[in-house]
Every structure is written in C-alpha cells, then in structure tokens.
C-alpha cells in the first residue's frame, strides 16, 4: 500500500514543485513504484517532466469530478517506475465546481483508492494556496512535507499552514502527520541561510529533515529540459541532495 506524501506550503516559490518532481524521481530511482500527482493548475510538475499539458485529454480534474478512470489519466515517464497523474488549467474549475459537491474534500482520496496498492509511494504537488485542492491533497495523504526556503521570512505564514493541517487532522484525516520540514535553497556562503536553519531546527525540534536542499542552478535548469535533475546532471549537488532525501524518507518507513 503506497505511502502518500503531500508537498504543501501556501507560499509560492519555496521549492514545492522542485521537491515533488525530484523526490518522486529519486524514490523511483531507488526502485520503488512511484506516482506523482500534480494538484497545481499551473502544472509546473508536468512541464518539468516534459509532459505537454495542452495535449492532455484527461487530467486529475476528471479524476476529482469522477469523469474518468484514474488509469486512463496516468502517464508514464522516462523513469521506469515513475508515473504521473497530470494537471492543467482545467483544474482551476475543479476548485469552483466542487464547492457544492457532497464530500468535496475526499475526492482525491477516493480517486487514489483504486490504484494505491500499485505503488510504494505517492507524492502530491500542491498549489500555492490552502484552498480545496490543497485540502484534498492533505485529506488523501498520510503525511505532509513542508518545504521552507532558507530566508528571513521562511516561517511567515507557517502558523496558518499548521492550523490547516490541525483542522484536517481533527476533522477529515486523523492519520495525517507532519512528515517534516524540508529546508530548501540553502546557500552555504550566506550567513543568513545558516542562521535561519539553526532557528528552524530549534523551533521544530525533531521535525526537520536531516537532508537540506542547496541552492543549485542545475535544479532550476532541469525543468527546461523536461527531466528530473538526476537525468540531467546526476552528480550535481541538487541531484545528490534529493537522492539523500529519498533515502531518508524510504528509511523512515522501515
Ligand atoms: P513552488 O512550487 O513552491 O512555487 P518551485 O519548486 O517552482 O516552487 O521553485 C521556484 C523557483 O525556484 C523555480 O524557478 C525553481 O526552478 C527554483 N528552485 C527551486 N529550488 C531550487 C534550488 N534548490 N536551487 C535553485 N533553484 C531552485
Ligand atoms: Mg509549484
């Protein structure tokens, strides 16, 4: 039965999509059957994997609305064990169309139920908001991974996210755990980066991943080649960091 991890933070640009794509690819590279679910209408995760979002017949939107079988939506990738449940701008409509639907928060959970046993890990990339799409992701998930950028305002808005997680845990998904805080875009030459990591590790004792993701230009270049960083430059610091993170996460399940 797959372990489902939602990558969430309502702030944009903190490294959610970079983490979702490269963590999923690194887990697949470790020979675990992996599914990446793109829950962001911007579909950056799809683009980053070379999927043409304008050419999709079905997307996660149709899964949420019950208009297509998830198996007909799945797309294979260049990595043998990595599949994607793609999205595109259709998904903007789901947020509105689901408002009046019964049990609107559990649509993704229900859709994934049919294929959950076919994967070891399911990674969900969330949009930069705490709306219904993120609520669906957190309701379907076993745990949430929160990327935090190593910058002065890193923790701003975090209490809102923690509050949302608490409400979903209490009302919709008692299994939900905070898997961990992931420090992203760490710059070793920058004093502030060091200060922020110390502060966050102190504040969230025991909840911060050992692995930190460095600021690395290869990570920002790989998406324009339509591949995860490990297929672009496997020896780059970015690739090594996400492979380490995958090992840390797979190890936690043992
Ligand atoms: P989010 O999904 O939270 O909005 P992204 O993963 O799209 O964030 O990252 C925002 C931008 O920062 C993207 O252009 C991405 O390529 C870049 N980026 C993310 N992580 C790193 C990193 N560790 N090093 C360098 N650039 C990064
Ligand atoms: Mg994103």
Q: Tell me which residue of 182, 237, 224, 247 sits closest to 16, measured CA to CA.
A: 182
What are the structural domains, with CATH classification, of the chain?
3-249 (3.40.50.300)
What pLDDT does residue 254 have? 52
What value does the mean pLDDT of the chain take?
Answer: 95
Does 145 contact ligand 1 (Cβ within 6 A)?
no
Report the pLDDT averaged over residues 14-30: 98
253, pLDDT greater than 80: no
* Residue 170 Cα to ligand 1 middle (Å): 31
pLDDT 10s digits, 35-75: 999 999 999 999 999 999 999 999 999 999 999 999 999 99
Comparing 8 with 156, the larger pLDDT belongs to 8
Q: Is the dihedral of CA 247, 249, 252, 254 positive or negative?
A: negative
198, pLDDT greater than 90: yes
The interface pTM score, or ipTM, of the predicted complex is 0.99
* Residue 174 Cα to ligand 1 middle (Å): 31
Among 15, 158, 185, 189, say which to mutate for ligand 1: greatest number of ligand atoms within 8 Å of CB: 15
Ligand in closest contact with the CA of 38: 2
CA torsion 230-119-7-241 (nearest 10°) is -30
pLDDT 10s digits, 117-151: 999 999 999 999 999 999 999 999 999 999 999 98
pTM beyond 0.90: the answer is yes
3-class secondary-structure state, position 120: coil
Does 45 contact ligand 1 (Cβ within 6 A)?
no
């Amino acid at each position: 039965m797959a372990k489902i991890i939602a990558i969430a933070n309502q702030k944009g640009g903190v490294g959610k999509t970079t983490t979702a794509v490269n963590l999923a690819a690194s887990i697949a590279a470790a020979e675990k059957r992996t599914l990446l679910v793109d829950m962001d209408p911007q579909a950056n995760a799809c683009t980053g994997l070379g999927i043409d979002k304008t050419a999709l017949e079905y997307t996660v939107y149709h899964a949420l609305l019950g208009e297509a079988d998830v198996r007909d939506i799945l797309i294979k990738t260049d990595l043998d064990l990595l599949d994607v449940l793609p999205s595109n701008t259709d998904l903007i409509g789901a947020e509105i169309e689901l408002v009046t639907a019964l049990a609107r928060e559990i649509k993704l959970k229900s859709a994934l139920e049919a294929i959950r046993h076919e994967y070891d890990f399911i990674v969900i990339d969330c949009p930069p908001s705490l709306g219904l799409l993120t609520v669906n992701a957190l309701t379907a998930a076993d745990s949430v991974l929160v990327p935090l950028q190593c910058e002065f305002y890193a923790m701003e808005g975090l209490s809102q996210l923690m509050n949302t997680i608490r409400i979903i845990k209490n009302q919709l998904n008692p299994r939900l755990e905070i898997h961990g805080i992931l420090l992203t875009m760490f710059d070793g030459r920058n004093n502030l980066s060091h200060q922020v990591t110390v502060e966050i590790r102190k504040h969230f004792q025991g909840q911060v991943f050992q692995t930190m993701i460095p600021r690395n230009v290869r990570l920002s270049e790989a998406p324009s080649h339509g591949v995860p960083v490990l297929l672009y430059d496997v020896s780059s610091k970015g690739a090594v960091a996400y492979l380490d993170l995958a090992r840390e996460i797979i190890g936690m399940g043992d």
